[in-house]
Amino acid sequence: MTSILVAQDAPPLLLHVLRLADTALVLGHRLSEWTGRAPMLEEELALANAALDYIGQARSLYDYAARLDGRGRTEDDLAYLRDTPDWRCWLIAELPNGDFAHSVLRQFLVAAALQPYWRALAASRDATLAAIAAKAEKEAAYHLRHAGEWVIRLGDGTDESHRRMTEALEDLWPYTGEMFEADAVEAALVAEGVAPDPLALRPAWEAMVARVLAEATLDLPAPCAWMQSGGRRGVHTEHLGHLLAVMQHLPRSYPGAVW
């Protein structure tokens, strides 16, 4: 049995760390897919940089999750030996890259949620989490600035770029609600002062998004529109399975091998 399942009734802290790790890794993986395909070399390197930040965050988080799990698993076991239903990332992270408009808009929408989240988490009573968050916050702040500039540039660029950004916004918006959901797992951590309440961070996100979209001359979608959700329960989009098939191929093909 090679599939490593972290049961839904595992301790909230472990589950939560895993969720954060999964989102970071999947985002990093998606960004890394731009290598060799970006519209300009500088952006290709910038996307790779962000991918490295996310993968680095994922590694710290998986490493912590493995220690919390305490059953001798490694960061790689968690990344490479869990199948789709055991993943806990946000759906927005797993969507295919789409065009550059989709990718920078996702990068912006997610960073605008993560940056305040990491900042709040840096005050966690859990010292390990606080340290990871403090580092991640700086990275997210940079991602936010960089992607935000692109959102403005493309929204307020040509007709074509404006049209593409509008389409990207329609496609991605339904996936933003999930970033502010808190289930029982998270509520428990909020109560203990281990994690911030994501809902409390939503107004900051909304203000940031409204400001940047306005400068980008893009219409702000209705914030109360119907939202997609499921990543935290392991109910994903059809895209994650394909990503994992590629990502996990080697460790799945050669069980036990060290690389």
Q: Could you give the C-alpha distances from 191 to 61, 148, 182, 184, 235, in angstroms and in order?
A: 21, 33, 12, 10, 26
Three-point CA angle 172, 197, 127, nearest 5°: 110
Position 25 contacts another protein (CB under 8 A): yes
Tokens coding 13: 């802290």
- Residue pair 154/101 in contact (Cβ under 8 Å)? The answer is yes
Position 97 contacts its own copies (CB under 8 A): no
Q: Does residue 72 come out as left (phi exceeding 0), alpha (psi in the -120 to 50 range) or beta?
A: left
**Pick from 125, 145, 233, 249: which binds its own copies (CB under 8 A)?**
249
Taking Cα atoms as reference points, which of 27, 94, 87 lies closest to residue 54? 27
E-strand stretches of 56-102:
none
- Residue pair 61/131 in contact (Cβ under 8 Å)? The answer is no
How far, in Å, CA of 188 to CA of 193, rounded? 9
Measured from the CB atom, the residue of 2 and 8 that comes closer to its own copies is 2
Q: What is the CA radius of gyration of the chain?
A: 18
Measured from the CB atom, the residue of 82 and 102 that comes closer to its own copies is 82
**Pick from 83, 149, 181, 197: which binds its own copies (CB under 8 A)?**
83
In the complex, what is the shortest distance from the CB of residue 184 to its own copies, in angstroms, rounded to a whole number?
30
- Pattern 39-78, another protein, x by CB under 8 A: xxxxxxx--xx-xx--xx-xx--x------------xx--
Measured from the CB atom, the residue of 43 and 76 that comes closer to its own copies is 76
Q: 158 to 177, contacts with another protein by CB under 8 A?
A: 158, 160-161, 164, 171, 174
Residues that bind its own copies (CB under 8 A): 2-3, 83, 241-242, 244-246, 248-249, 252-255
Residues that bind another protein (CB under 8 A): 1, 3, 5, 25, 29, 32-33, 35-45, 48-49, 51-52, 55-56, 58-59, 62, 75-76, 79-80, 83-85, 99-100, 152-154, 156-158, 160-161, 164, 171, 174, 226, 228, 230, 235-238, 240-241, 245-247, 249-251, 254, 256-259
